Chain A
Amino acid sequence: MQRKWLAIFAVLMVFALVATACSGAATPETKTEKVVETVIVTVEVPAEGGEAAPAMGGNTLQTVKDRGKLICGVNSAVPGFGFLNEDGSFSGFDVDFCKALAAAIFGDPGKVEYRPLTAKERFTALQTGEIDVLIRNTTWTLTRDTELGANFTATTFYDGQGFIVRKESGIKTLEDLNGATICVGAGTTTELNLADTFAARGIDYTPLVFETADETTGAYEEGRCDAYTTDKSGLVARRTVMANPADHVILEETISKEPLGPVVRHGDDQWYDIVQWTVFATFTAEEYGITSANVDDIKASTENPTVKKMLGLEGDMGAKLGLSNDWAYNIIKYVGNYAEIYDRNLGPDTPTYIERGLNSLYTDGGILYAPPIR
C-alpha cells in the first residue's frame, strides 16, 4: 500500500514538474514549492526549446531550412490553379509558385510539402503555423490583411467573380437570377460579394453553401441550384471537370475585384520579402525575356546590369533576402518566368485556357508591374 502510493506520488511529481516548467511561472502554494523550484532549472532547457517550436511570426525562413522543405497551403480541386492529380502529385498555377519559392530557398523545386486546404480552413492553418505560406487562390481584402492576421505579398492573378448557369435556362444577366437558388463555397469572399451585390440590386435569391468546391459544383450539376458562383478563373477551371462542359455558360458580368496571391503570417518581415520578391522575380524575368530555356545562355553572356543583379552575377541581392545569390536564377531555371507558369497551366493549349487580359505585363497592356531588383 505504502509503496504503491509512493510510486503514484513519484509519477505525479514528474508530471507536475514538467507542467509547471512549461507554464514558466506557476508556483503552486504548497509545501513542495522548494523542491519544484530547484528541479525546474534542470527541465527548463528542453521546455524552452519546446515553446519556441510553434512558428509564430519569428523566423520562418530558418524553420523552413531546418525542416528541409517548404509547407505550402494549396487548393486541390481547381484544375489549372491547384489540383491533386490522379498520381498524387499537385499541379497548377498556384502550385508552381510554391515550387518557385522552394527553388529560391533550396535550389530545388521539389522540396515542398503540399497541404490541401478548404477555403474555410486556410486562414486558421496559416495563423497556427501549420503552413509556411498560403498560395490558394486567396483574395486580398482589408479584413483579411488585418484582422485575420494575414499578410498579402503580391498579386499573381487578377480575377473577378462571375456566375455559371445551365445553357437551357436562358439566363443572360444577373437580373434574370431573381428568385434563384445559388450554390457558393463556404468561407469565401464570393459569399460576401454575392450578398452585397444582390442586396444592392434588389435581387432576391437563396444561397446554398457547401464546404468544398466538389460538393458545391456537385449540387449545381445535380440541379439543386440554378447558378454557381466563384471567381471566373475558378468557373473556367471547374467547368472542365463537369460532366458536359458545353451545357454550361459563364455570364458576361463580373461583380467584384479578386486579386489573388500568396499570403504569409503577420510578424515575419523577412519571410514576407522572400515570398514577395519570388513573385516579382518571375515578372521581371518575363520582362527581360529570360526563360528556363535560355537562362544559362543569358547568364553567361549578359551585359545588362539589372539582369546581372537578378541572376546573382553582381551585387548581393540574394543575401539581402537571406537567400543564396542565385535565388532568382533557380526560380527561372527550375520553374520559369511568369509567362511560362501561366501558359503551362492556363495557356491556350490547356483545357483551362483563360485569356491573360489584366494578367499581362504593363508593357503588354496588363497591370503586372514589378519593382526593380536593385
Chain B
Amino acid sequence: MKDEKFGCRKSYSEPGPGDGGRTGSWRVLRPVIDLTKCIPAKKNKPACFTCWLYCPDGVISKTVPPTIDYEYCKGCEICAEECPVGAITMIEESILIMEEEE
C-alpha cells in the first residue's frame, strides 16, 4: 500500500461488454425474435436493424439474423416497441425459466 501510486483506485472503465456486471439478471421480460417476421431474417440480407440501432445497451448484433446477448440484456423492451414488423415479443422470464427447468 505504501509504495502504491497516488490515485490508483478510481473509476475508469473501457468500452466493452460486462463492465457494469452481468446485468442480464436484472431482466423480468425477455425479448424473443420471431425470425419468420424479422426483416433481415426473411430477406436473408442486411436490412432494417432498427432493434440494433435502438438498443441502449448494445446487446443486439447487426447480423443476419440479429441475435440478443441475454447475458447483458436488461429487458427494457425498446427493441420490441421499435420493431416495424412486430417481430420481437416480450416473454415473462419466470415462464421461460420454468420451461428450461422442465
Q: Do A and B come together as binding partners?
A: no
Residues of B at the A interface (CB closer than 8 Å) are none
